[in-house]
């Protein structure tokens, strides 16, 4: 942002202060993530940069902690990763199906009690997680679903659907309903119309809601802490236990993998958002 | 409809109005049926359990069910300043004997002990006498029980039993505010040095408030920069906001634990620039500083994204117009730009404040003793003391607070302004 040449000195100074503040904030946001990368390749057990690392000595770096993550004895990460992915995938599918259906209903102008129903459907997003955790735990304990995969999947569907409902409703707000009427007038039944016309058009919204649901499930720790038994341990639970007991470099190796995963999700989400905006005709 | 206007009929001969209403109703049902599966699912697995939390938090039927005869006899106990009559003693003895047979006497002792300290000892004493069959049921039970321990002769203990008679109680809510039901039925304050919950509530509010403030002070400038920069630069900078947003909470907390430790990089930096000496490194983790720093960074994206989406819609020509009409850049900003961003500020602050007030993971990891919040206390009672009814009561108090904030916000700004990234 270049300043016009006639800018007075005091505004010029103020402008540089503003840029400096912004730089600091961006640094504050992103820098902590980058501390993890180099330290996860540390050859030593300490979580500080060794003299060797500061001098870029190749011997100071190693893949030791990554090997420990994958092959380590009594290692929980394999089971945790498997559980996390299974739970997140099923929770995402459940959230997408329930959330999309509900969003279709909510964006119909015939929907009765729209405000109340919308408030109920997105309430799990507003209620603090700890309270959701307590409530869901009471239900699962009664239903005999505590410490089961099914219970955790159901819990994550509860937490994930609001995101799907919100993103899909937003996509549908720019949706031209005459195309479905056109399909119907040409003899298509409602299911066929949905599969062939509506779904392809709202797909970006569905997928980005699904991504939110996936990340919510994959990253969720508060509710799982109440629900999980030893068999249902997940990556966040293992990280939580590890961070509470002792911060080991293996956790940093796992964290690096998670950052890579979130980068992947970020790129996907961004591409989807742009595609969706193009389809909805929002020019930026 | 006046009789002169001709009724319009559809091709089937049904009046158009009726036919339309029918179609409308069909559409209504159709729309509702689409939302019904999720609604039903949430009501069963989520809304009802929250209602159950409320039932749990006020439920006090345990003692009521354990001592049915006692409470019946106590109805006739008139002078509450004096020891109850023989019948009450006999009823209590019979109830207690039944509990001993069902092996539930321990629970009663613990429950009564919460009502009045020292109950556990004297009920155990009674239990041993019953086990050894030392009690003569034909003689006066009042005398025999009173002989067991001097506390049985203290009328306050009998009053405590009487207080547990109602099936519902507000005690858990009062406890959450460091108050209790006094012997005379009034509400009393806990002694000053034992008011732990009030400190926690205040601390939670304080931390949520300051984290929101810091997020606002840091988020506003960068949201403004992102909204005014040309697209190709702002997209790149947006990654700095979105990558933390999508990254696991625990990963971000872990990175702060590394940065803030005593031999960590932040302290190294302070030593390097000469702010502190090497052997005098400040403790930045396991206290409030750690909680503030980590929570601000973690919640900052939730402030930036709503601000950005509002600022993006403000036309730059408004600022130019303000300046061309004679305002200095500061005046133009304050009078024109800032008021337009208020919906974004509201949405961002609401999101951050509500998220911060219920925060649990980060304070538990970097907060230490002085950084724990009300959520940690709820989790503690759920998992360690197993006092689920107290955890429920505190949870509902927190929930009420959140809903009030949400309601105020809805009145002031309107919830429709919330957007997701």
- Helices of type H across A107-148: 114-126, 129-143
Judged by phi (left if over 0) then psi (alpha if -120 to 50, else beta), residue A4 lies in beta
User: Is A87 domain-assigned?
Assistant: no
Across the interface, whether the CB atoms of B42 and A120 are under 8 A apart is answered yes
Under 8 Å between Cβ of B145 and B152: yes
Domain tally for chain B? Answer: 2
The pLDDT, as a whole number, for residue B421 is 40
Across the interface, whether the CB atoms of A121 and B38 are under 8 A apart is answered yes
Nearest CA in chain A to B364: A244
Q: Which of B47, B53, B256 sits opposite A120 (nearest CB)?
A: B47
C-alpha to C-alpha distance for A194 and A187, rounded to whole angstroms = 13
User: Is A256 domain-assigned?
Assistant: yes
User: Is B350 domain-assigned?
Assistant: yes
Under 8 Å between Cβ of B296 and B244: no
HSE, CB side, 13 Å, CA atoms: give it for residue B115. Answer: 23
User: Is B35 domain-assigned?
Assistant: no
Under 8 Å between Cβ of B65 and B165: no
The pLDDT, as a whole number, for residue B419 is 47
B401 shares a domain with B283? yes
B237 shares a domain with B161? no
Judged by phi (left if over 0) then psi (alpha if -120 to 50, else beta), residue A147 lies in left
* CATH for A273: 1.10.3720.10
HSE, CB side, 13 Å, CA atoms: give it for residue B26. Answer: 6
User: Is B49 domain-assigned?
Assistant: no
**What ipTM describes this predicted complex?**
0.86
Across the interface, whether the CB atoms of A108 and B34 are under 8 A apart is answered yes
Domain tally for chain A? Answer: 1
Domain boundary pick from B117, B143, B165: B165
Which of B220, B198, B296, B224 lies closest to B256, judged by CA?
A: B296
For B259, the token pair is 């940065």
User: Is B321 domain-assigned?
Assistant: yes
User: Is A34 domain-assigned?
Assistant: no
User: Is A6 domain-assigned?
Assistant: no
B240 shares a domain with B91? no
Which string of DSSP letters, residue by residue, matches A13-24? HHHHHHHHHHHH
User: Is B142 domain-assigned?
Assistant: yes
User: Is B140 domain-assigned?
Assistant: yes
B232 shares a domain with B151? no
B155 shares a domain with B233? no
User: Is A54 domain-assigned?
Assistant: no
User: For residues A181, A183, A187 and A188, what is the CA-based torsion angle, rounded to 10 degrees?
Assistant: -110
> Buried b / exposed e across A253-284, counting CB within 10 Å, b at 16+?
bbbbbbbebbbebbeebbebeeebeebbeeee
The pLDDT, as a whole number, for residue B4 is 52
For A116, the token pair is 């109340």
Domain that holds residue B397: 196-417
pLDDT digit string (tens) for chain B, length 421 residues: 445 566 777 777 788 888 888 888 988 998 899 999 999 999 999 999 999 989 888 887 878 888 888 888 888 887 777 888 888 888 888 888 888 888 888 888 888 887 788 888 888 888 888 888 777 788 888 888 888 888 888 888 888 888 777 778 888 888 888 888 776 667 878 887 778 888 889 989 999 999 999 999 999 999 999 998 888 888 888 888 889 988 889 999 989 988 888 888 888 888 888 787 777 777 778 888 888 999 999 999 999 988 998 888 888 888 888 888 888 888 888 888 898 888 888 888 988 998 899 888 888 888 877 767 888 889 888 888 888 889 999 999 999 999 998 888 877 766 555 544 4
Measured between beta carbons, the chain A residues lying within 8 angstroms of B400 are none
User: Is A237 domain-assigned?
Assistant: yes
| Closest chain A C-alpha to B26 CA, distance in angstroms | 9
The pLDDT, as a whole number, for residue B179 is 83
C-alpha to C-alpha distance for A66 and B309, rounded to whole angstroms = 40
The pLDDT, as a whole number, for residue A94 is 96
For B261, the token pair is 């430790």
User: pTM of the prediction?
Assistant: 0.84
Which string of DSSP letters, residue by residue, matches B41-71? HHIIIIIHHHHHHHHHHHB-HHHHHH-HHHH
Segment 56-95 of chain A within 8 Å of chain B by CB: none
User: Is A212 domain-assigned?
Assistant: yes
The pLDDT, as a whole number, for residue A284 is 40
| Element housing B266 (H / E) | helix B265-272
Q: E-assigned strands of B134-208?
A: 179-181, 187-189
Across the interface, whether the CB atoms of B42 and A137 are under 8 A apart is answered no
Distance of CA B169 to the CA centre of its chain: 19
B340 shares a domain with B293? yes
Burial group, residue B81, by CB count within 10 angstroms (0-12, 13-18, 19+): exposed
Measured between beta carbons, the chain B residues lying within 8 angstroms of A110 are 24, 27-28, 30-31
B271 shares a domain with B361? yes
B235 shares a domain with B160? no
C-alpha to C-alpha distance for B98 and B85, rounded to whole angstroms = 21
Nearest CA in chain B to A256: B251
The parts of chain A modelled with pLDDT lower than 70 are: 1-2, 73-74, 279-284
Q: How many CB pairs under 8 A join A and B?
A: 253
Across the interface, whether the CB atoms of B45 and A108 are under 8 A apart is answered no
User: Is B334 domain-assigned?
Assistant: yes
Domain that holds residue A275: 100-279
Please report the sign of the dihedral spanned by the C-alpha atoms of residue A17, residue A20, residue A26, residue A28: negative
Measured between beta carbons, the chain B residues lying within 8 angstroms of A265 are 246
User: Is B209 domain-assigned?
Assistant: yes
Across the interface, whether the CB atoms of A131 and B228 are under 8 A apart is answered no
User: Is A178 domain-assigned?
Assistant: yes
C-alpha to C-alpha distance for A210 and A217, rounded to whole angstroms = 10
HSE, CB side, 13 Å, CA atoms: give it for residue B278. Answer: 1
């Amino acid at each position: 942002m270049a300043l016009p040449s006639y800018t007075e000195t005091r505004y010029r100074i103020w402008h540089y202060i503003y840029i400096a503040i912004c730089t600091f904030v961006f640094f504050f946001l992103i820098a902590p993530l980058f501390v993890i990368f180099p330290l996860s390749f540390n050859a030593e057990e300490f979580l500080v940069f060794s003299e060797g690392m500061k001098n870029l000595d190749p011997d100071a770096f190693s893949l030791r902690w990554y090997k420990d993550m994958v092959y380590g004895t009594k290692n929980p990460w394999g089971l945790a990763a498997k559980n996390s992915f299974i739970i997140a995938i099923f929770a995402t599918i459940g959230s997408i199906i329930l959330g999309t259906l509900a969003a279709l209903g909510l964006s119909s102008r015939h929907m009765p009690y729209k405000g109340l129903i919308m408030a109920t459907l997105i309430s799990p997003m507003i209620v603090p997680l700890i309270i959701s955790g307590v409530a869901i735990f009471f239900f699962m304990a009664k239903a005999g679903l505590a410490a089961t995969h099914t219970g955790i999947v159901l819990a994550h569907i509860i937490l994930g659907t609001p995101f799907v409902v919100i993103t899909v409703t937003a996509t549908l707000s720019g949706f031209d309903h005459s195309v479905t009427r056109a399909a119907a007038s040409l003899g298509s039944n409602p299911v066929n119309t949905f599969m062939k016309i509506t779904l392809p058009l709202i797909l970006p919204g569905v997928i980005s809601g699904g991504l939110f649901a996936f990340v919510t499930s994959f990253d969720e720790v508060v509710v799982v802490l109440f629900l999980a038994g030893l068999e249902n341990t997940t990556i966040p639970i293992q990280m939580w236990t590890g961070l509470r007991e002792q911060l080991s470099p293996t956790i940093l190796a796992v964290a690096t993998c998670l950052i890579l995963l979130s980068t992947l999700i970020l790129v996907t989400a961004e591409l989807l958002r742009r595609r969706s905006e193009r389809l909805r005709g929002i020019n930026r | 409809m006046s009789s002169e206007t001709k009724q319009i009929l559809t091709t089937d001969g049904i009046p158009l109005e009726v036919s339309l209403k029918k179609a409308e109703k069909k559409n209504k049902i159709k729309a509702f049926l689409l939302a019904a599966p999720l609604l039903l699912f949430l009501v069963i697995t989520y809304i009802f359990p929250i209602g159950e939390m409320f039932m749990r938090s006020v439920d006090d039927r345990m003692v009521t069910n354990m001592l049915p005869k006692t409470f019946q006899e106590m109805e006739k106990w008139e002078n509450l300043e004096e020891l109850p009559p023989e019948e009450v003693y006999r009823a209590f003895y019979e109830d207690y004997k039944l509990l001993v047979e069902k092996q539930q006497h321990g629970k009663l002792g613990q429950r009564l002990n919460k009502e009045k300290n020292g109950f556990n000892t004297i009920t155990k004493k009674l239990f041993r006498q019953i086990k050894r069959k030392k009690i003569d049921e034909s003689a006066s039970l009042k005398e025999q029980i009173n002989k067991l321990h001097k506390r049985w002769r203290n009328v306050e203990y009998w009053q405590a039993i009487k207080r547990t008679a109602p099936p519902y109680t507000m005690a858990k809510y009062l406890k959450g505010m460091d108050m209790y039901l006094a012997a005379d039925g009034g509400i009393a304050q806990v002694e000053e040095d034992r008011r732990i919950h009030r400190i926690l509530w205040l601390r939670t509010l304080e931390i949520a408030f300051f984290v929101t403030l810091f997020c606002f002070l840091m988020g506003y400038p960068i949201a403004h920069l992102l909204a005014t920069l040309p697209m190709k630069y702002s997209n790149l900078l947006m990654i700095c906001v979105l990558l933390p947003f999508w990254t696991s909470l625990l990963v971000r907390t872990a990175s702060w634990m590394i940065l803030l430790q005593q031999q960590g990089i932040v302290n190294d930096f302070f030593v390097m620039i000469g702010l502190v000496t090497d052997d005098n490194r400040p403790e930045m983790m396991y206290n409030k500083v750690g909680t503030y720093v980590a929570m601000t960074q973690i919640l900052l994206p939730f402030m930036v994204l709503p601000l950005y989406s509002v600022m993006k819609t403000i036309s730059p020509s408004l600022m130019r117009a303000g300046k061309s009409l004679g305002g200095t850049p500061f005046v133009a900003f304050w009078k024109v730009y800032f008021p337009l961003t208020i919906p974004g500020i509201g949405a961002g602050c609401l999101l951050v404040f509500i998220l911060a007030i219920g925060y649990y993971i980060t304070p538990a990891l970097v907060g230490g003793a002085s950084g724990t919040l009300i959520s940690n206390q709820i989790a503690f009672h759920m998992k360690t003391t197993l006092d689920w009814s107290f955890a429920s009561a505190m949870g509902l108090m927190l929930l009420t607070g959140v809903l009030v904030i949400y309601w105020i916000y809805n009145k002031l700004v309107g919830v429709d302004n919330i957007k997701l990234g």
